[in-house]
Structure 1
Amino acid sequence: MFTIVVGIDTDEARAETQAETIASMPLETDEVTAVLVHSFSENRAGGTVEQVKSVRVAQSRLEEAGIDVTPEGYGGDAAKAILNVADEHDADQIVVAGRKRTPTGKVLFGSVTQSVILDTERPVLVCSGGD
Structure 2
Amino acid sequence: MYHAVMGVDDNEERAIACAQAVADLPGAGSDARVTIIHSFTDNPTGASAPQIGSVREATEYLEGEGVEVTVTESSGDPAEQILDVAESEDANLIVVAGRKRSPTGKALFGSVTQSVILNADRPVMVAGDTDD
Which structure features the higher share of helix residues?
1
Residue in 2 aligned with 1:76? 76
TM-score normalised to the size of structure 2? 0.88
Residue in 2 aligned with 1:57? 57
For structure 2, list consecutive stretches of 5 or more residues without a partner in the other structure.
Answer: none
CA RMSD of aligned residues (A): 2.0
Residue in 1 aligned with 2:127? 127
2:61 partner amino acid: R
Q: Post-superposition shift, 1:49? A: 0.4
Residue in 2 aligned with 1:115? 115
Q: Post-superposition shift, 1:94? A: 0.3
What is the distance in 2 between the residues matched to 1:97 and 1:44? 24
User: The residue matched to 1:94 in structure 2 has which SS?
Assistant: strand
What is the distance in 1 between the residues matched to 2:60 and 2:53? 10
Q: In the TM superposition, what are the counterparts of 1:1-131 in structure 2 within 5 Å?
A: 1-101=1-101, 111-129=111-129
TM-score normalised to the size of structure 1? 0.89
What is the distance in 2 between the residues matched to 1:13 and 1:75? 22
Number of aligned positions between the proteins: 128
1:119 partner amino acid: N
2:75 partner amino acid: G
Q: Post-superposition shift, 1:29? A: 2.1
What is the distance in 2 between the residues matched to 1:16 and 1:49? 16
Per-residue deviation, residues 7-63 of structure 1 (Å, max 9, x unmatched): 001110111111111111111522211000101111233210011000001000000
User: The residue matched to 1:79 in structure 2 has which SS?
Assistant: helix
Matched-pair identity in %? 43
